[in-house]
Amino acid sequence: MQQQKRSQGEQENSTETSLFDLYGPTIFAYMRLHVSSREDAEDLTAEVFAAAWEHDNLPGLQRKEQLAWLRRVAHNKLVDSYRRQARRPVVSLETVADSIYEDESRAPEWVAERHEELDQLRRAIEQLSPVQQQVLQLRYSSGLPFADIAILLDKREDAVRQMLSRAIAHLGVLYKRQ
């Protein structure tokens, strides 16, 4: 019984293989005429024969009918391919490679330098007094106006302005030393 199933499965496989052997070059040539790359033509040809594999009645058809069916499926797969391309246009890698770093802020070198500069700045800020760090944080991280900072620190507004000015000047000196 198992041998009978195996021979039936082998027969189906040989039918599928013979379909590809018989019509593969024809379908591939058709695809190659209509798509720009060999790889796309190979992929579409594979899709056609995958559909043939799933179609149960195809081996029972005459050869002309098989070829007509495969050509119709090839045409439909080609149309599907065109539709996919229209929805997702393909851009060549060379075009992307040339334009990807036109904005210098996206270049890996720039990003690495920026991280290094931020690390230096953090180290310099850590060397400031806690009050100077707090004034910097409230003004630049939190975006508070001087009047609000003065209220939070229980200081006069002009004193907060002066503390911030001195903190920035001291920060510049510390940053340059590094």
For 101-167, give the DSSP string. TSSGGGSHHHHHHHHHHHHHHHHHHHTS-HHHHHHHIIIIIS---HHHHHHHHTS-HHHHHHHHHHH
Residues 12 and 86 in one domain: yes
- pLDDT score at 11: 44
The model carries a pTM of 0.43
Q: How confident is the model at residue 57 (pLDDT cuts 50, 70, 90)?
A: confident
Residue 120 tokens, joined? 């230096």
Residues 87 and 112 in one domain: no
Residues 79 and 11 in one domain: yes
- Per-residue burial over 37-59, b if 16 or more Cβ lie within 10 Å, else e, is eeebbeebbbbbbebbeeeeebe
Average pLDDT over residues 36-59: 89
What is the share, in percent, of the chain residues with pLDDT greater than 90? 40
Spatial CA neighbour of 18 closest among 67, 77, 74, 71? 67
The Cα–Cα gap between 8 and 89 comes to: 45
CATH number of the domain that residue 171 is part of: 1.10.10.10
Average pLDDT over residues 104-109: 69
Residues 13 and 47 in one domain: yes
57's enclosing H/E stretch is: none
Mean pLDDT of the chain: 83
* Owning domain of residue 136: 108-177
